[in-house]
Homo-oligomer: A and B are copies of this chain.
Amino acid sequence: MKKLINDANNLVHESLVGLAMAHPDILKVSFDPVYVMRRDAPVAGKVGIVSGGGSGHEPMHAGFVGRGMLTAACPGQVFTSPTPDQIEAATRAVNSGAGVLHIVKNYTGDVMNFEMAAEFCQTDGAKILAVVINDDVAVEDSLYTAGRRGVGTTVLAEKICGAAAERGYDLERIGALCRKVNENGRSMGMALTSCTTPAAGKPTFELGEDEMEIGIGIHGEPGRERTHLLNAREITTRLAETILADLPFRTGDSVIAMVNGMGGTPLMELYLVYQELARVLRSRGIAVARRLVGNYITSLDMAGCSITLLRVEDEFLALWDDPVLTPALRWKA
């Protein structure tokens, strides 16, 4: 295993120390229990937005903490759910009294621990709502999930709901908005190589030199199909068509399109995939209203990509365009 680390057991801690030192203008980190929060939280009168999950998917979630996006993020150990006490502490820390939305990716441990944390907070009368993101069209159940996994739509939901909180929407309205984002978002990913977790020290799964996995999960969970290597056009078409058929997206729809790298894929290749995706969408009469190309929800050093499409309406777009200032996403700020 080749990694820039000191000790696999201390990797998440040391990385968060670096994050805190690199972005003191945006966020601060609590280490006991561990959570990352907006420097100015709680924000008076505003709903707090809290997400979290296993580490190893950076910049998600801690890289999305800041004005206009997450109020706090709870990073677990690598590919391990955050504990209820982390989530409880983060939720209490950012609650201005206006309540807190939990945005939870659909993995059994995450869902359970966010639920427990919400119950703890609610004993004191705090208003907590949770929305579970389950946008991965690749498989129905999976290694760590009952139902569909939560992936790229999470990034878009965090941006849109964060903007809504900044505008002063109340908790009920932001919860409804987040559910609507989830209902209109679909994703699917693929891997050219496995990731290697620091604790295991070897690839999570084996892929031959001439093989790839379509429909991979962000922890290396099995996908739909293991196939021989395809080119970027074939891969993009396969991912895009599966996504489009699922909602289904229709001629005349507008979307936010995200081409996301899994961590080990050069940006050059992601732009190439974006160009293929744009071609498929144009051929279907679907307009790309906004787009993101880069590493947003990764899987350590895995080579591969995922595509997320969110069918949008005016409200989504206006909130998307609002200012955001986080380590990984920033504009108009």
* Chain A interfacial positions (CB closer than 8 Å to B): 2-7, 11-12, 14-19, 21-22, 55-56, 58-59, 63, 192-193, 209, 212, 229, 231-233, 235, 263-276, 278, 291, 293, 295, 298, 300-301, 303-305, 330-333
- CB nearest neighbor in B for A211: B2
| A267: chain B residues within 8 A (beta carbon) | 58-59, 63, 263, 295, 298
Can you pick out 21 interface pairs between chain A and chain B where the beta carbons lie within 8 Å of each other?
A2-B192, A4-B192, A4-B235, A4-B305, A5-B231, A5-B272, A11-B272, A14-B232, A14-B275, A16-B271, A18-B272, A18-B275, A21-B275, A21-B278, A21-B291, A55-B268, A56-B268, A264-B301, A266-B298, A330-B331, A331-B333
A232 to chain B, nearest CB (A): 5
Roughly how many angstroms separate A211 CA and B97 CA in the complex, as a whole number?
54
Task: Looking at the assembled complex, report how far the CB atom of A332 sits from the nearest CB atom of chain B, in whole angstroms.
Answer: 7
Q: Chain B contacts of A19 at CB under 8 A?
A: 271
Residues of B within 8 A of A63 (CB): 267
Q: How far is the CA of A4 from the CA of B291 in the complex (A)?
A: 19
Question: What number of copies of this chain does the assembly contain?
Answer: 2
Report the minimal beta-carbon distance from A87 to chain B, rounded to whole angstroms: 20
Given contacts A192-B2, A269-B5, contact A18 B293 (CB under 8 A): yes
Enumerate chain B residues within 8 angstroms of A291, measured Cβ to Cβ: 21-22
Interfacial chain B residues near A271, Cβ < 8 Å: 15-16, 18-19, 22, 58
Q: Using known A-B contacts A5-B232, A274-B18, A275-B14, determine if residue A301 contacts B58 with beta carbons closer than 8 Å.
A: no
A26, B213: Cα distance in complex, Å: 35
Nearest B residue to A303 via CB reads B2
Chain B residues, CB < 8 A from A270: 4, 18
